[in-house]
Structure 1
Amino acid sequence: MSSEVKLNDSPIINAFKRIQVALMIVGPTGRILHCNPAADSLFGYDSGKLVGRPVFDVLAVTSVAELGAYIEPPAIDAIIKGIAGRTANGQRILLGAQMTVWTEAENGLQHALVLRDIADEVSAERRSRSELERANNAIVGAKIGVFDYVRKTESVNVSDLWRELLGVDSVDSDDLKREWLSKVHPDDLDAALESVRLCLEDQCERHSCEYRLRSKDDSRWLWIRSDMSIAERDRQGNVSRLSGAMTDITDRKATETALRRSEEQFRSAFQSTTIGMAIVGFDGKFLRVNPALCELFGYSEQDLVNTDIQALTHSEDQQDTEARLDLIKAGEASSYQFEKRYIRANGAVMWGSLSVGIVRDDEGRPDHMVSQIVDMTEQRRLNELKSQFVSTVSHELRTPLTSILGSLMLLSSMDDEPFSDQAQRLLFIAQQNGDRLHALINDVLDFEKFSAQQMRFDLSTHRIVTLVEEAILANLASGDKFGVRFDMVCPDRTLTGVVDPQRFQQVMTNLLSNAAKFAHTGSTVRVAVEEQEDAVRIAVTSDGEKIPESFREHLFQPFSQADSATTRARGGTGLGLAITKQIVEQTGGAIDFDSTEGEGTTFWFTVPSPKPQ
């Protein structure tokens, strides 16, 4: 009878077959002498199909010697973690094996292997290692020093980071305690020791405190947070070991200090400012008001907090106020400012300039609003008086001036009795200055209307080239006066824009007369008309002196003059550009200028293109 038959008949082998763990016996040539059904299943073979196959078909070894090399003499067994296997369909699997070797007189060298699939174990171990590494990185990154205190021996064990925070290299327990005690701020030592005492006396499971610790180089105080907890008890339930973590919170404390200082500054400014201020909820209710606001409305602080902004608003302005508040609530605006009327406690109407801004929480969500209210009642009254005065004076001047200019024109046109040259010169001077005064009065009246948003415009679609040509013809005399000529460039003569023709001519006259006034004698003022995306751009360029960049923000303000001496010599009221800007912007356009040394100055403005039908 062969040895294989003897083996198969062995009672041990019959028991071997019933074991649920994959088992395999390999002979001296590397062939599998026996394996149980669990081993067949592990490698994806039908029952009994592995017997007789080379073990190299299912394990990543090339010889019996390589397999035996896992066992280091004089040992006769070994645990192999991570040997590669191969299933019947060629799929790679990761195996763990326990192998035992022996020699039989009849069958020679034998290897018995207990096998299992460890893919899940390795994956779980890898995940665990990764989580442990992340946790360690978090501790290191957060600068958390870990420590243990054993009550019985009074010994302290600390991590490297704890030593780094404390700035000590010693590992001796007594040295560590002495170093720690010497570095804690004297004012904070009792609080720092309190956590240890409370946990040792079992008054709490855990306790936290914050204290100051001198830095490693002794140059400053670090803020430390210490979290202490009971880690272990003895058989009698008494506390035997404490563990804790020490974290550097200096940056957080600095942020808290800066925030507290900022809050104190805001509180001080809020309370002491002479401008009425309030913190308002999105329902319009006052959450907090300052003394200036109470004085402004004539209410006590409690009375104001018990009301809302709408209750103080004039009935005719409530709808506008609600509309602006709705924009804030919908997230379409983060702030707004406008003038409105309020009702004081005594029933008087007050004009106020209201400024509102949103304050958001840490997550960026709107939390409340901050409002400022400035009393504009007196200012508006004075503006109205000023407007009335200017209007009255201008009209009172215009009526007699018109008569004077008419009379001068009649005198100038009389041919029956010609005046002497001296008289004609005086008439010419009087008429020139009368025209200048008339233009000034018109400018002042126009400026007042524009400033009060009272100017009316008659907007319609017109061909821009035609209007520009008319403006150039109307200003030829101005060009002749200063010895310059006008030249127009317009590649597309069909361009149209939405304008008020009369006000367009006023803009062009201001720009052309200014260009002629400040251009060099004998030069050419160029007028360019070109199409833009949604507008038509008109540019007037002269070769005059460069306008200082420092004067840019003042140029369109009333009565502003870059060079007063030149302006006086050439004439001008200082209102032309301010009026021009108002006309352009109130009719939907934009205006600006470019000035370069040696290349002259270009004033340009735009008019809206007509919308497609």
Structure 2
Amino acid sequence: MESSKAIPAPSPPRELSRLAALLRYEILDTPDETAFDDFTELAAYICDTPIALISLVDDHRQWFKSRLGLDVSETPRELSFCTYTIEGEGVFEVEDAHRDTRFCDNPLVTGDPHIRFYAGAPLISPDGYNLGTLCVIDRQPRQLSEAQRGALVRLSRQIMRLFEERLQAHRYAEQAALQQALLNSAASAMLVTTDDGHISGVNPTAERLFGYPEQMLIGQPLTSVLFPQEALQRRATILGNALGEPIEPGFAVLTAPLLEGRREMREWRLLHRNGSGVPVLLNVSAIHDERELLRGYIVSAYDLAHQEHLQLRLQQIAAQVPGMLFQFCWRPDGNSSFPYLSEGVEDIYGLSAAEMAPSIGPIYERVHPEDREHVLASIRQAASTLTPWHFEHRIDHPRKGIIWVEARATPMRQADGSVLWHGLVTDVTERKAAQLELDKQQEINRRLLEALSEGVVACDADCNLTLFNHTARRWHGLDAEQIAPEQWPDAYHLYHADGATPMVMDELPLIRALRGEHIRNLEMAIVLHGTPRYVLANADPMFASNGQQNGAVVVLHDITERKQIEILQRDFVSTVSHELRTPLTSITASLGLICGGVMGEVPEHLQELLDIAQLNSKRLSALIDDLLDIDKLYAGKMRFEMRQQPLQPLLEQAVRSNQGYAESYAVSIELGTCPEVAITIDTMRLEQVLSNLLSNAAKYSPRGERIALGASLVEPQRIRVSVCDRGPGVAEAFRERIFSKFAQADSSDTRQQGGTGLGLAISKELVEHMGGVIGFDSTPGAGACFWFELPCTPLHEGHA
């Protein structure tokens, strides 16, 4: 009975190397081969077993290259007996698997093929790895004789030799296919000859170049078919004189230099099938086998006619290129030359190609004296690092005077250590002049930008800050930093106009401009070290010359002083208004009692004066009321009691309330259509807005005209209320400031219409506080239509 001691598992590195060795033979999963089947039959015969296998073990299975007496092609590695063979040394034998604790429960033992006996010899590669086994199997317990064990080992060695021969044959086939592919795809004509100069093979390029099909060349002497005899005779004479011995004017002309240890490439004019000459560059190489025996020659012929054609084409292309194309060779000994120069050399340097070809000296003399050392240093740097060379410098042209050129070249290290440059030199004098002018203009713009009293900030299309002028840096206490836009409000101390509420990214004028908006006079604050600076922001997107948006810019105008003056004015007006209101109320009331006859009959000569005094006291009271209202609005102290109301009753009430005032100007108010909608407003404030608009329309309407009050839907949930008159309209010069405080179209002391100039400003603030917008449409001489828009909802049935 075999020992139950387990064979230790191989180390991972050893196993990886074994698998690599196995894969190198490229035999796994290949079809059956008779050569291997012969070995399994011989092993089964010698060992007298019904089953024999050539088994190869990879990382998860054992696969059978040849099998006798077994139908399956592979089994799992963890079940295989061969695993023990490859992990040990020599023949591994199991006499009775039923009695061996390692295999008694193995499914291959308890089930098909019911293994009782196993013996395997490892297949050992030349580098010492066990790739698999040659094994024999029986369904009965047994034991091999020493002669059988020895035969199994010898057969395993023969199988490995078969593996090696198979691999070698595969490699030879690959090499032959590769060599044939190289010959077939070579750009040069390739002819293979025997050692005595008879053609044994040609590639397709040779067939095309010389006009012969392959079958007409095979077996023919190379020099007899393709070489002119007089050319062979001349070359034989030259070689004979050089070598000191006679050379036959045949194939020896090509091989004699090789015998002297020289390889040469020489231009020949060979014969085409049609009798014409074919210019070629010829090279001959000997073919030796592994024992260094001469087997023949390879003759390669590069088509110089094709090269001449390419040279002509290059000259035609170069003639279309503005500037000079060149090849420049810099040799290790310090010498230099120009292997190729286009005709543009005369236009760039005022030199001919013949003058420049020997060296770089003539060009160097044309370089401006102040630029020479820099040009030479840049060339040396590019040559030492083999990096592309790009340099702009001046040339002293004999006809044009001083010109600017741009030189570009790419260096390539050659086998002899020289550096070959391929490059282009172009005249950039006009561009350089334009660039210098542009640089000058940019410097002027930069200085102007830095001198501006306004702050200027710009960013690119990717939200990278690119510009902070001097004023912006001083106001923000920071230059342009590469930080995320979400951090801009905090980093640059940006607040709303109240100086207390921080702005968020989407509110920033620069971000809004990047989205395509045009921001005008947006009030905001920069609070640096606790001190607010109030600014007006104007921002616009920026566009490149192709129309693509490439950033945005914002200009900040300091209005801190103006804001402070406005605060002082507001405080002054508020104080004066409150101080005047109490005595003025008493005066107005007293005048009312006197003019009403409560205090007795007023003498006729005093009545007119008292009426004037009462009228002006009422106007002064209205002015003070307006001043107090505007003060409350700007201070945020006016209370709004928002309630949802039907719109039409509000308009009807406005007509009733203002009809008497309109009649005093001999005009009437007419209520037009009104959709059935409800609006959410402060009723008293809406009445104040309507009264302001209706009273203005009455003052400016001609006598006998009608004022039209109406409403219409501009959107499903937005209503527009309009007050239209037939007066003189709004003058062009007054349009931009019509909703400003104290605005009057006629501000002279003799103006015909009274008023404080605050009504429209108050109306604008009231409408905007109620979530609406206000505006007007007017044609001078054809009346004006003032309107405001508010959100609305459809009026439900039965709404009170």
Specify if TM > 0.5: yes
Shift of 1:259: 7.0
SS at match of 2:727: coil
Counterpart check, 1:243 vs 2:414: no
Number of residue pairs the alignment of both structures matches: 457
From 769, 772, 778, give the equivalent of 1:586.
Answer: 769
Q: Partners in 1 of 2:624 and 2:398 — Cα distance?
A: 79
Deviation track 1:249-277 (CA, whole Å, cap 9, x = no partner) reads 7769967985796478547755x666789
Counterpart check, 1:484 vs 2:664: no
The answer as to whether partners of 1:156 and 1:173 remain within 8 angstroms in 2 is: no
The answer as to whether partners of 2:495 and 2:524 remain within 8 angstroms in 1 is: no
SS at match of 2:751: helix
The equivalent of 2:594 in structure 1 is 411
From 689, 696, 707, give the equivalent of 1:514.
Answer: 696
The answer as to whether partners of 2:536 and 2:559 remain within 8 angstroms in 1 is: no
The equivalent of 2:708 in structure 1 is 526
Q: Partners in 2 of 1:293 and 1:243 — Cα distance?
A: 49
**Where do 1:117-516 residues align within 5 Å?**
146-149=325-328, 154-155=337-338, 157-159=340-342, 166=348, 172-174=353-355, 187-192=370-375, 194-195=377-378, 203-206=384-387, 207-212=389-394, 224-231=405-412, 233=414, 235=416, 237-239=417-419, 241-246=420-425, 258=438, 262=442, 265-266=445-446, 269-270=449-450, 320-321=501-502, 324=504, 338-339=524-525, 341-343=527-529, 349-353=530-534, 376=560, 382-414=565-597, 417-492=600-675, 494-516=676-698
Shift of 1:577: 1.4
The equivalent of 2:101 in structure 1 is none
| Amino acid paired to 2:706 | T
From 785, 791, 797, give the equivalent of 1:602.
Answer: 785
Q: Quick one: structure 1 residues 501 and 167, their matched pair in 2 at CA, closer, same or farther if it must change by over 3 Å? A: farther
The answer as to whether partners of 2:648 and 2:674 remain within 8 angstroms in 1 is: no
The answer as to whether partners of 1:487 and 1:525 remain within 8 angstroms in 2 is: yes
Q: Partners in 2 of 1:215 and 1:504 — Cα distance?
A: 84
Deviation track 1:404-456 (CA, whole Å, cap 9, x = no partner) reads 11112222333683323333333322221111000111111222222334332
Q: Partners in 2 of 1:315 and 1:143 — Cα distance?
A: 57
Shift of 1:528: 2.0
Q: Partners in 2 of 1:480 and 1:612 — Cα distance?
A: 33
RMSD of aligned C-alpha atoms? 5.6
Q: Quick one: structure 1 residues 268 and 420, their matched pair in 2 at CA, closer, same or farther if it must change by over 3 Å? A: closer
Q: Partners in 2 of 1:603 and 1:397 — Cα distance?
A: 32
Q: Quick one: structure 1 residues 592 and 163, their matched pair in 2 at CA, closer, same or farther if it must change by over 3 Å? A: farther
| Amino acid paired to 2:743 | S
Deviates more, 1:205-214 or 1:556-565: 205-214
Q: Partners in 2 of 1:142 and 1:468 — Cα distance?
A: 80
Shift of 1:471: 1.5
The answer as to whether partners of 1:558 and 1:574 remain within 8 angstroms in 2 is: yes
The answer as to whether partners of 2:392 and 2:407 remain within 8 angstroms in 1 is: yes
Q: Quick one: structure 1 residues 251 and 505, their matched pair in 2 at CA, closer, same or farther if it must change by over 3 Å? A: farther
| Amino acid paired to 1:509 | S
SS at match of 1:338: strand
| Amino acid paired to 1:225 | E
Q: Quick one: structure 1 residues 142 and 515, their matched pair in 2 at CA, closer, same or farther if it must change by over 3 Å? A: farther
Counterpart check, 1:540 vs 2:723: yes
Q: Quick one: structure 1 residues 517 and 366, their matched pair in 2 at CA, closer, same or farther if it must change by over 3 Å? A: closer
Shift of 1:538: 1.1
Q: Partners in 2 of 1:581 and 1:330 — Cα distance?
A: 27
Q: Partners in 2 of 1:435 and 1:247 — Cα distance?
A: 86
Q: Partners in 2 of 1:223 and 1:203 — Cα distance?
A: 26
| Amino acid paired to 1:174 | E
The answer as to whether partners of 2:739 and 2:764 remain within 8 angstroms in 1 is: yes
Q: Partners in 2 of 1:139 and 1:331 — Cα distance?
A: 50
Q: Quick one: structure 1 residues 470 and 264, their matched pair in 2 at CA, closer, same or farther if it must change by over 3 Å? A: same
Q: Quick one: structure 1 residues 319 and 450, their matched pair in 2 at CA, closer, same or farther if it must change by over 3 Å? A: closer
SS at match of 2:524: strand
The answer as to whether partners of 1:405 and 1:431 remain within 8 angstroms in 2 is: yes
Q: Quick one: structure 1 residues 209 and 351, their matched pair in 2 at CA, closer, same or farther if it must change by over 3 Å? A: same
Q: Quick one: structure 1 residues 226 and 583, their matched pair in 2 at CA, closer, same or farther if it must change by over 3 Å? A: same
From 715, 729, 736, give the equivalent of 1:553.
Answer: 736
| Amino acid paired to 1:211 | H
The answer as to whether partners of 2:594 and 2:600 remain within 8 angstroms in 1 is: no
| Amino acid paired to 1:429 | I
Q: Quick one: structure 1 residues 142 and 288, their matched pair in 2 at CA, closer, same or farther if it must change by over 3 Å? A: farther
The answer as to whether partners of 1:486 and 1:524 remain within 8 angstroms in 2 is: yes
| Amino acid paired to 1:338 | M
Shift of 1:391: 1.4
Q: Partners in 2 of 1:443 and 1:454 — Cα distance?
A: 14
